[in-house]
Structure 1
Amino acid sequence: MKIDLTDTTSARINAGLIQARRAIGTPAVGMVLTLVIVTDEGSAYDALRAAHEASREHPSRILAVIKRPGRSPRDRASARLDAEVVVGQEAGTGETVVLRMHGELANHAESVVLPLLLPDAPVVCWWPDQAPEEAAADPLGRLAQRRITDASSAEDPVGSLAVRAAGYAPGDTDLAWTRITPWRSMLAAALDQKHSVITAAAVEGEAYNASSELLALWLADRLGVEVERKVSDGPGITAVRLYTADGDICLDRADGALAELAVPGQPDRHVALHRRNTAELIAEELRRLDPDDIYRSTVEFGVKHLVGPAGAADSGPAPAKKATPAKKAAAAKAGSGSGSGSGSGSGK
């Protein structure tokens, strides 16, 4: 069921939600969290579709905030709230409210969102495209226990990792980090099977790929070894190689779906490692609302080397067979006496 409300208020929207639930015969509320999506008109459809799919695992009240401040002084001075209330099959297993804020109201979105939050339920804020530099300091971000950004959607994906590290607060995370969870889990499992000292590593992936850079930084941080960042044709991350005295541990995914894992002394085997869509990534992030300390450690380790002395982000692709800033940082860390690990930081 869908209800359109023009020039409305938060109180009328709450009344519309109650009316819609009664109309379809589901007065009971069984939602576990509020998901606030801050987006624009062009990205709203894809973001809402992903959120609806994720709500089948996490029944949620989804609030899509679309700001329309206007271009002319007259438009900016006016203030109006239009809303779409969607309950039922079109809203997944929860309910959805699309909030279009016009004029000056766009600068005070938190005043509209606050009365619509589910009582005594956690709040997650997601920026699918352009995110604030400090998500926790944003008025909407302050309402949330979990704040999700996506460095891959930024104009400078690798450079934006430095921005995420500089503005990090407990509860922050990034979908570029979520994308490498299967890679981290698989590599940690491989190291549990083969207890060898890692002497170096290499990560192969597309140029300007934030997930590839995060995976290289994670390996450098957790293992304390040099990590070489190689550029490939993709899609996404294509291979990770861990060099040991007994031979190379290699996780190779050439087609974006199926990977081959090679461990010295064991037969090669194929493992499922498909590229996940946004709905799967959001569903994973909604499973945990506590601070992700491994993500914090990785981005804080990387910010020292992704940003030069003058403060300019080094976002260029690393040439093949040459060390990236992550490699140089890991070498410095190894030289300072840090030991090598065995994948204990697999995180989520």
Structure 2
Amino acid sequence: MKIDLTDTTASKINKALVQGRRAIGTPAVGMVLTMVIVTDEENAYDSIKAAEEASYEHPSRTLVVIKRHTRTLHARTTASRLDAEVRVGADAGSGETVILRLYGEVADHADSVVLPLLLPDAPVVVWWPVNAPLDPAKDPLGALAQRRVTDTYTAEQPLRELTERATGYTPGDTDLSWTRITPWRSILAAALDQARMQVTSATVESEADNPSAELLARWLGVRLGVPVERAVSAGPAVTAVRLATAIGEIVIDRPEGPMATLILPGQPPRTLALKTRSTSELVAEELRHLDADEMYAIALRGEPGKEHTRHA
């Protein structure tokens, strides 16, 4: 069910949510958090779709904030208005969705619009699919949240943005570029547990300027205490990790496709599933834990000076 509201208020939006739930016979129970998505019109559809798919694992109220600036026909001042689209039932995954379009001055006070719409006594997650602030915790919307999710992969200069985020990191910050390498980190940890040999150096191969590869290299450098080389490959994303030991290399190689090859010294190669996950899967993973991501902080604040890049 969809309800369109023009030139509305937060109070009218809340009434529309109640009206929609009554119309479809669904009470407001079972929602575990409020997800706030801050995006633009171009990326709104994909972001909403990803959040709705994630809501089947984490039922939530999703508030989509789209800031728009338009001018009136007869004045140079920007018209201030709030339009909303309320979705409940099958049109909103397993939760409920409110798309907020903010015009004029109200766009500069999005937090005041969002605050009355948050679920009471439930955690808040803010996600910027694009154009995230360099210091999310100081953003007015970010200040409302226990968890702040960015995606450095969408930045024009992702490696530079990672450095900026390290400077302004606050517990609760995380990034989907970090989430993308969870399977890589899991396989590497399992391989090292099995091989139990001293690593002397490491190499991470990926397409140029890939923030996930940079975070993986920093994490390996800090956790293993060894120099890590960044090698540029044809991609896509991270294509291989090589850990040098005294008796040979530990290698995870995924040049393309959903399968990777794991090679341990003295053992036959093994094929493992290592697919590229969808945005909804990444968001769902982030919603499973709302406490501070200490490993992300370690990787973000790694010592990139120990790394150097070559072309593979």
- TM-score scaled to structure 1, two decimals? 0.86
Change in CA separation of 1:157 and 1:305 when aligned onto 2, cut-off 3 Å: farther
After superposition, the C-alpha distances for 1:234-288 in whole angstroms (9 at most, x for unaligned) are: 1110000000012110000011310000111222111100001100000000000
After superposition, the C-alpha distances for 1:56-107 in whole angstroms (9 at most, x for unaligned) are: 1000100000001336894654310000000011210000000000000000
Decide whether the 8 Å contact of 1:67 with 1:101 is kept in 2.
yes
User: Secondary structure, in 3 states, of the residue corresponding to 2:58?
Assistant: coil
Decide whether the 8 Å contact of 1:236 with 1:256 is kept in 2.
no
* 1:311 paired residue number: none
Question: Between Structure 1 and Structure 2, how many residues are aligned?
Answer: 311
Decide whether the 8 Å contact of 1:161 with 1:303 is kept in 2.
no
Decide whether the 8 Å contact of 2:148 with 2:173 is kept in 1.
yes
Unaligned runs of 5+ in 1: 307-316, 322-348
Shift of 1:304: 6.6
Q: Tell me how far apart the structure 2 counterparts of residues 148 and 74 of structure 1 sit (CA, whole Å).
A: 38
* 2:53 paired residue number: 53
Q: Tell me how far apart the structure 2 counterparts of residues 192 and 18 of structure 1 sit (CA, whole Å).
A: 53
Partner letter of residue 294 of structure 2?
Answer: D
* 1:320 paired residue number: 311
Partner letter of residue 84 of structure 2?
Answer: A
* 1:27 paired residue number: 27
Q: Tell me how far apart the structure 1 counterparts of residues 237 and 27 of structure 2 sit (CA, whole Å).
A: 44
Q: Tell me how far apart the structure 2 counterparts of residues 305 and 269 of structure 1 sit (CA, whole Å).
A: 31
Partner letter of residue 8 of structure 2?
Answer: T
Superposition map of 1:101-180 within 5 A: 101-180=102-181
Unaligned runs of 5+ in 2: none
Q: Tell me how far apart the structure 2 counterparts of residues 257 and 131 of structure 1 sit (CA, whole Å).
A: 29
Shift of 1:155: 0.5
* 2:82 paired residue number: 81
Superposition map of 1:150-299 within 5 A: 150-299=151-300
Structure 1 residue 70 corresponds to structure 2 residue 70: yes
User: Secondary structure, in 3 states, of the residue corresponding to 1:26?
Assistant: coil
Partner letter of residue 44 of structure 2?
Answer: A
Partner letter of residue 63 of structure 2?
Answer: L
Shift of 1:53: 0.5
* 1:312 paired residue number: none
Q: Tell me how far apart the structure 2 counterparts of residues 187 and 33 of structure 1 sit (CA, whole Å).
A: 32
After superposition, the C-alpha distances for 1:272-329 in whole angstroms (9 at most, x for unaligned) are: 00001100000000000000111111111247779xxxxxxxxxx93327xxxxxxxx
Change in CA separation of 1:46 and 1:75 when aligned onto 2, cut-off 3 Å: farther
Structure 1 residue 9 corresponds to structure 2 residue 9: yes
Decide whether the 8 Å contact of 2:34 with 2:125 is kept in 1.
yes
Shift of 1:208: 1.3
- What is the root-mean-square deviation in Å for CA atoms of aligned residues? 1.7
After superposition, the C-alpha distances for 1:5-44 in whole angstroms (9 at most, x for unaligned) are: 0000000000000000010110242100000000001100
* 1:335 paired residue number: none
* 1:97 paired residue number: 98
Q: Tell me how far apart the structure 2 counterparts of residues 76 and 124 of structure 1 sit (CA, whole Å).
A: 33
Partner letter of residue 239 of structure 1?
Answer: A
Shift of 1:158: 1.2
Decide whether the 8 Å contact of 1:61 with 1:96 is kept in 2.
yes
Partner letter of residue 206 of structure 1?
Answer: E
Partner letter of residue 310 of structure 2?
Answer: P
* 1:44 paired residue number: 44
* 1:342 paired residue number: none
Partner letter of residue 318 of structure 1?
Answer: T
Q: Tell me how far apart the structure 2 counterparts of residues 250 and 262 of structure 1 sit (CA, whole Å).
A: 5
After superposition, the C-alpha distances for 1:139-178 in whole angstroms (9 at most, x for unaligned) are: 0000000000000000001111011111100000000000
After superposition, the C-alpha distances for 1:103-131 in whole angstroms (9 at most, x for unaligned) are: 00000000000000000000000000001
Shift of 1:133: 1.4
Decide whether the 8 Å contact of 2:36 with 2:65 is kept in 1.
yes
Q: Tell me how far apart the structure 1 counterparts of residues 77 and 140 of structure 2 sit (CA, whole Å).
A: 19
Q: Tell me how far apart the structure 1 counterparts of residues 247 and 68 of structure 2 sit (CA, whole Å).
A: 60
Q: Tell me how far apart the structure 1 counterparts of residues 11 and 71 of structure 2 sit (CA, whole Å).
A: 28
